């Protein structure tokens, strides 16, 4: 059996330190970027107005996790 969307999200979160990422409802990685603005641009370029639902995630860096703060 394949991994759930949550499992996929958590795995990517561990692999993509310091990156923003977008997943489709079936777990496909739609885009990865260094900033949320760039991520949204990539999503809009790829999907347009298709109505596809996406999950957006950010994987904090080790320093951010240590500080327990994303926007310090």
| pLDDT tens track for 14-62 | 899 999 999 988 889 999 999 999 999 999 888 877 777 888 888 888 8
Contact 17, 31 (CB under 8 A): no
**Using CA of residue 10, residue 16, residue 20, residue 24, what is the dihedral sign?**
negative
Burial tier of 22 (Cβ tally within 10 Å: 0-12, 13-18, 19+): buried
How far is 28 from 2, CA to CA, in rounded Å? 12
Contact 20, 35 (CB under 8 A): yes
pTM above 0.95, yes or no: no
């Amino acid at each position: 059996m394949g991994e759930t969307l949550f499992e996929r999200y958590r795995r990517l979160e561990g692999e993509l330190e310091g990156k923003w990422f977008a997943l489709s409802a079936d777990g496909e990685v739609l885009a990865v970027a260094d900033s949320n603005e760039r991520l949204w641009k990539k999503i809009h370029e790829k999907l347009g107005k298709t109505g596809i639902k996406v999950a957006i995630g950010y994987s904090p860096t080790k320093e951010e996790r240590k500080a327990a703060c994303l926007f310090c």
